Amino acid sequence: MVNGTDGEHLPSDELPDDDPRFEDHGLLAGIPEDEDELPGVPTEIRLRRDDPSGTIVLDRPARRNALTRRTLTELETAFDDLHRAGPVRAVILTGAGSAFCAGTDLREIRSQVGDDEQRHLWKEDADRMRQLLQTMLRFPKPIIAAVNGPVRGFGIALLAACDIVVASERADFALPEARIGLVAAQAAPLLSFRIGAGATSYLMLTGRTIDAQRAREIGLVHETLRDDLVWARAQELAKECARGARESIQLAKRLINETIGETLELHDAVAAAYTATARTTESAAEGVRAFLERRPPRWS
């Protein structure tokens, strides 16, 4: 069951494991072979079926669904599973608890930020984030973000990689990376594509938080609703998308993301390099420390 923003259970048509219609499509079978240190059962996301949709739930509510390296790997696996699930015609991405996504989990990287010798690790992280965004952009089915609460940092990039965004009226949005010595590089190309360079510059350079109404005005969000209606509206949109022919939907996505947005892949590669480089700076080390110590940063 997926919990709503107030903890209530949303309607579900989940099937028991022994039902012949039940399919887990490999999600519980494990993580890719290059991540052998990870247990097979996902722990940082949840996946459910409500045909014609499949819902991916970011499931770290105690950390406001901040993303770790493991989360990114599990998201890749989930998208692959839902790609192969024939009855699933659209994917809903949402968060558990009161937030959608707080961005990257700084606790995971704090001991290594600012260390130039860790550049190879930052490159691996940036490449992993870039791969996830490319997976979403190339995904042949509509991806609908059901934004149940605040979104920060790389969470904004996830939104911009979705095709449709519906949000709670109490959701808000920010790219605070510059305030902690980092760069919201991987959100920049997608945001520029979706909402334009001007609005992207405003968000990246000021680090200011905008509310759901403003996000809708600039095109980051398509619809705003009461908290308890967000997932249900996303499911309605999934059903609307399912009325279209599979081939037509897939071609429409390719037209938008690969033809109109033909330079996105190149820009994403450059953004990944900037993301990795920013983490090696002294500013990043001080900014992350200050954030986790809940104090203002002391810039050199």
Catalytic residue numbers, as ranges = 177
3-class DSSP state for residue 173? Answer: strand
R_g of the chain computed on alpha carbons:
19
Buried b (16+ CB within 10 A) or exposed e, 15-48: eeeeeeeebebebeeebeeeeeebeeebebbbbb
3-class DSSP state for residue 277? Answer: helix
d(CA 156, CA 150): 10
Length of the chain: 300
The residues with which 300 forms a beta bridge, in sequence order, are none
- 129: Cβ contacts below 8 Å, ≥ 6 apart: 72, 154, 157, 186, 272, 275
43, 70 in Cβ contact below 8 A?
A: yes
CA-based nearest residue to 125, from 138, 141, 112: 112
168's tokens: 């709670």
d(CA 153, CA 63): 14
